[in-house]
Amino acid sequence: MAKEDSATRGSGNSEKATATVKRGLAQMLKGGVIMDVVNPEQAVIAEQAGAVAVMALERVPADIRATGGVARMADPELIQKIMEAVSIPVMAKCRIGHFVEAQILEALGVDYIDESEVLTPADEMHHIYKHDFRVPFVCGCRNLGEALRRIGEGAAMIRTKGEAGTGDVVEAVRHARAVFGEINRLQLIRDDELMKYTKEIGAPFELVKETKELKRLPVVNFAAGGIATPADAAMMMQLGMDGVFVGSGIFKSDNPELRAKAIVAATTHYQNPEILAEVSRNLGEPMLGIEASSLPESAQLAKRGW
């Protein structure tokens, strides 16, 4: 390539898939809503409603619960069609530890991979070594140790697990409070006591130190798992989350278009109760939901992940 001589031209070499670039996309999604979709039509509805990205999957978590069986990565054909249908970023899920599903998703060119407890885990000890990939990953967590282990493996974005497919926000709140509470308490731990704390929570030392200095996780942190209403979304934002994932909550409700738009507005105007009251009106029935505390342990998806 002939390089012309011009004062305004760049000089350096371009670098892809750096931590800055991988974490950067998550930073662009902040203050937004990422919606689960199972076909291109739903993806278009999500984009029209103002979603910042869509999560392409075969069944939403509520249906995975209802039908049972092994839940796997979606058909590449479906993911491709969703990618062609919208101009916003498209994410897709692979099973915990299933690095070949992740390789396939990377080959498809998805914008983010969710190594997700919503699917049936493929490895009961190890998560994917995400540094090996050019595509960035988002992973679930229930507490600070779990979040930092995932970041240590290369996750460029974190989300709380909540309890997917329930429409019950209580677990998302529990996990958000756990992470923020631990970060707050971390400020009180002396530097010469950090190693002991690191051992207790099973997290990489350097990341514990970095989190203490930053007073927040080193990557973007979204809420997920049970968000079904504009009020749920705004509550997660007021608790300090950077944005929200809505899975079953939109397309399992009476009026997905209206509810999707309302949740987008509530995520932006989360501190404005007048707007929250306005967008919460006449949305029709939300998803019916299941009380998360009524689930037997074997049905609790958040327990998956190590």
Partner 1 sequence: MKIGLLALQGDYREHLQVLQTLGVETAEVRLSKDLEGIAGLIIPGGESTTIGKLAARYHLIEPLRVFARAKPVWGTCAGMILLAKEIGGEQPILGIMDIVVERNAFGRQVDSFQIDLEVPILPDGDSKTFPAVFIRAPRLVGVKGDAALIAQLPDGTGVAAQEGKWLATSFHPELTKDNRFHRYFLSLVEQRP
Task: Catalog residues that contact partner 1 under the rule CB under 8 A.
Answer: 1, 3-4, 6-18, 20-21, 24-25, 27-32, 47, 50-53, 87-89, 106, 109-112, 134-136, 261, 264-265, 267-269, 272
Cβ closest to partner 1, residue 84 vs residue 193: 84
- State the minimum distance, in angstroms, from the CB of residue 122 to partner 1: 23
Cβ closest to partner 1, residue 9 vs residue 196: 9
- State the minimum distance, in angstroms, from the CB of residue 27 to partner 1: 4
Residues 230, 149: Cα–Cα separation, whole Å = 31
Query: Which residues are part of the catalytic machinery?
Result: 93
**Closest residue by Cα to residue 86 from 53, 113, 60:** 53
Side chain identity at residue 268, one-letter code: T
* DSSP-based three-state secondary structure for 296: coil
- State the minimum distance, in angstroms, from the CB of residue 44 to partner 1: 12
Cβ closest to partner 1, residue 112 vs residue 251: 112
Q: What is the dihedral of CA 147, 150, 151, 153, to 10 degrees?
A: 160
- State the minimum distance, in angstroms, from the CB of residue 97 to partner 1: 22
Q: What is the dihedral of CA 211, 217, 219, 225, to 10 degrees?
A: 160
Q: What angle do CA 303, 244, 186 make, to 5 degrees?
A: 65
Cβ closest to partner 1, residue 120 vs residue 272: 272
